[in-house]
Structure 1
Amino acid sequence: MSNRSRPDSAGSPRGSDEAAQGPGVSAGTAPVGTVLVVLHQARSTPGRIGARLQRRGYGLDVRRPALGEDLPQTLDGHCGVVVFGGPMSANDPHPFLREETVLLERALARSVPTLGVCLGAQLMARALGARVDGHREGVCEIGYYPLEATPAGAALLPWPDHVYHWHSEGFDLPEGAELLATGRTFPHQAFRYGMNGYGLQFHPEVTREMMAAWTERGAHRLTHPGAQPAEAHFSGFDRHDGAVCRWLDAFLDAWLAAAPLK
């Protein structure tokens, strides 16, 4: 989620179906490496992305700079970075957003495996000099919307034909980045920068429990132009979530294979 379309304190309850509190690195077992995870609200979790990284043997170092938690001064102790969504705009003048942008600049310059989701992707785009702005017609994407892979994206892996969104701003394609997927309303849905930097406008991490929390706390957002009613979110989940989960597993494997996290 991003840019003021997101419900306050959106996230997933502790103990949700796949909220990265589930199976992870076994006690006494050293992780393959530690991934820095940046969240923006107290209740937010890394959802399925965090859970799947843990299942692959990675530890998670979760930071919430919006709540006053410090980001690491260096990335020497981290093998990857994932920045998730939030209710703020990438254009807001918050000092913590500037700190996150600098972190992303450093990570991308060093070819540290980097993933941005929604707001995180918009911050990545800004770090690479691209513009982030609302749709010219004032519409948003809140719910499931069609996705189409570009030839470059299709060469990487098969993509789902619908993905889950919660945003009212989008990003221009950064110079030097490769467009991987497009959408009808916001044309830039996924990009790759280098071999291991990825920005996703959509939310593959969302579980049903997370969706329930978002649609409840953000119910007033569902009347915005372009947004879908709550029942369409859950019917879309039933239709499309299997394909999204398969894509996420394949995507994470491709991301890790391009630049092994070690």
Structure 2
Amino acid sequence: MSTALNETIYIIQHLAFEDLGSLEDVFYQLGYRVRYFEAGVDDLSKAMQHTGLTIILGGPIGVYETNDYPFLQKEIDLLKVRLESNLPTLGICLGAQLIAHALGAKVYAGHSKEIGWSTLELEAITHNILAPLDQVPVLHWHGDTFDLPTNAQLLASSAIYPNQAFSYGPNILALQFHIEAEAQAMEKWLIGHTCELHKAQINIPNLRMESQQHAPHLEGVAPMILQQFLQQLEL
């Protein structure tokens, strides 16, 4: 994929403080521009029809909540067409669930919340794009999970949920965990998700401490995965 200065990465955002995090500076350093689209507010057609990379970020709503959030159905319909066209797509958390759903897999409420930092169990496959995350704690922050889509390649699991990441050919990557987590931004998450954290009985001071401990390391590793994904894209 070209890193020409006129190349723009389109970002679909579902929650103001869940942005590109540490990945945004990586794109700037590689010569890309970044443009955000607000799901539920903006028309997502341009982002979904973009022939370059589009990234779908996380959020607290569920893929199956289309009655409460009608915009989700339009987003899903656009995403199905995008994936059928094999356009470069990266999904994070809710974005990964949307990709799984658009590929025909079931997305549903899990048996427990997975919130906090822990390592992944990486699949022993050749050229696993997530190999740099071996023994590196990543941030999990979700209650929903998904079945693995047909013909998808499982990349990683966790102790709680078996499907944490998958690829669907070289152009489509779905990550249930938050590879973009950034140490300096985590307080926004702790504030914005306070109701969820208290309901799940998460110890907020401990989560803050873990974030300060682990996020800087993740920030150093995430660019390696992002650059490898960009290099493997087939446009």
The interval holding the TM-score normalised by the smaller chain is 0.7 to 0.9
- Checking the alignment, whether the CA contact within 8 Å between 1:128 and 1:174 is kept in structure 2 is yes
1:172 and 2:150 matched: no
Specify the code of the residue in structure 2 equivalent to 1:239.
Q
1:140 and 2:122 matched: no
- Checking the alignment, whether the CA contact within 8 Å between 1:152 and 1:178 is kept in structure 2 is no
The runs of 5 or more residues in structure 1 that have no matched partner are 1-29
1:207 and 1:109 map into 2 onto residues whose CA distance is 32
- Which among 101, 107, 117 is matched to residue 82 of structure 2? 107
In the TM superposition, what is the alpha-carbon distance from 1:258 to its structure 2 partner?
A: 0.6
In the TM superposition, what is the alpha-carbon distance from 1:243 to its structure 2 partner?
A: 3.4
The runs of 5 or more residues in structure 2 that have no matched partner are none
Specify the code of the residue in structure 2 equivalent to 1:194.
G
Equivalence for 2:218: 244
- Checking the alignment, whether the CA contact within 8 Å between 1:143 and 1:232 is kept in structure 2 is no
TM-score, structure 2 normalization: 0.87
The change in CA–CA distance for 1:217 and 1:155 in structure 2 (over 3 A counts) is: closer
Equivalence for 1:64: 38
- Which among 46, 56, 67 is matched to residue 83 of structure 1? 56
2:36 and 2:63 map into 1 onto residues whose CA distance is 20
2:160 and 2:20 map into 1 onto residues whose CA distance is 26
- Checking the alignment, whether the CA contact within 8 Å between 2:64 and 2:107 is kept in structure 1 is yes
1:158 and 2:123 matched: no
1:171 and 1:50 map into 2 onto residues whose CA distance is 27
Equivalence for 1:127: 102
Cα deviation code 1:164-185 (max 9, x no counterpart):
1211111111111001010011
- Checking the alignment, whether the CA contact within 8 Å between 2:21 and 2:181 is kept in structure 1 is yes
| Number of corresponding residues | 228
Specify the code of the residue in structure 1 equivalent to 2:42.
E
2:119 and 2:145 map into 1 onto residues whose CA distance is 15
Please list, as runs of the form range in 1=range in 2, the aligned pairs for 1:23-42 lying within 5 A after superposition: 31-42=5-16
1:149 and 2:128 matched: no
Specify the code of the residue in structure 1 equivalent to 2:181.
V
Cα deviation code 1:56-88 (max 9, x no counterpart):
11112211121x211135756541110001121
CA RMSD of aligned residues (A): 2.2
Percent of aligned positions with the same letter in both sequences? 32
- Checking the alignment, whether the CA contact within 8 Å between 1:81 and 1:107 is kept in structure 2 is no
